[in-house]
Amino acid sequence: MSRVLLCCGASVSIYKSCDLASKLTQAEHEVRTALTANAARLVAPQLFEAVTGQPAATTEWGSERRTAMDHIEWARWAEVLVVAPASADLLARLALGVANDLVTSSALALDPSRPRLLCPAMNPTMLEAPAVQRNLATLAADGWTTVAPGEGPMACGEVGRGRLAEPAEIAAAVEAALGRG
């Protein structure tokens, strides 16, 4: 059993992250979920809490139940961090070292020895955009492992590469990152 910090950006594919959270929980991992503010407009944090039995949050600014500075506590807690889905915006913020919410500040506060995975999800044209490719290369150089997006029909109506990898594939990548692949 390991402690997994699941970080979600605002992509339509976030519905698959609920299944990923469930699969990781069924594999007896403890899963906390950090969502960007826009990700939480697509899926409420409460759904992740219900699936995982662990906290889900959008902010490091505390709440009635939690003390502030969760980004440090959650980063110390995590044995592996997985960003699924990673939107184009979230990739850009991670590549730049922006730390303006719970997801990005937790990623920045994660011990460099801990594995970190990226699962991009976006429209095929966005994925091929030079800025996105540049950010992916920067993040790879920074030690992130990318779980490649799949090919097929997209919610935007296009067909191409950019679909979030399947939850089973991401779960297997998490196990591999933990040395259990």
Ligand X SMILES: Cc1cc2nc3c(=O)[nH]c(=O)nc-3n(C[C@H](O)[C@H](O)[C@H](O)COP(=O)(O)O)c2cc1C
Comparison of 2 and 17: residue with beta carbon closer to ligand X: 17
Could you give the string, one character per residue 79-98, with x where binding to ligand X holds by CB under 6 A and - elsewhere? --------xxxx--------
- Cα(24)–Cα(3) distance, integer angstroms: 10
Comparison of 127 and 177: residue with beta carbon closer to ligand X: 127
Annotated catalytic sites, by residue? 156
If you ran DSSP here, which 8-state letter would residue 148 be given? P
Pair of tokens at residue 125: 């044209």
Tell which positions 106-125 bind ligand X, by CB under 6 A: 121-122
The answer to whether 139 touches 148, Cβ cutoff 8 Å, is no
* Nearest 10 degrees: Cα torsion 71, 77, 79, 82: -30
CB of 177 to ligand X, least distance (A): 22
- Cα(38)–Cα(44) distance, integer angstroms: 10
Pair of tokens at residue 97: 């070292």
For ligand X, the binding residue among 2, 13, 52, 106 (CB under 6 A) is 13
Query: How many other C-beta atoms can be found within 10 angstroms of the C-beta atom of residue 81?
Result: 27
For ligand X, the binding residue among 7, 10, 56, 109 (CB under 6 A) is 10
Q: How far is CA 89 from the centre of its chain?
A: 13
Comparison of 29 and 164: residue with beta carbon closer to ligand X: 164
Check residue 149 for interaction with ligand X (CB under 6 A): no
CB of 113 to ligand X, least distance (A): 26
Contacts with ligand X, residue ranges (CB under 6 A): 9-13, 36, 38-39, 87-90, 121-122, 126
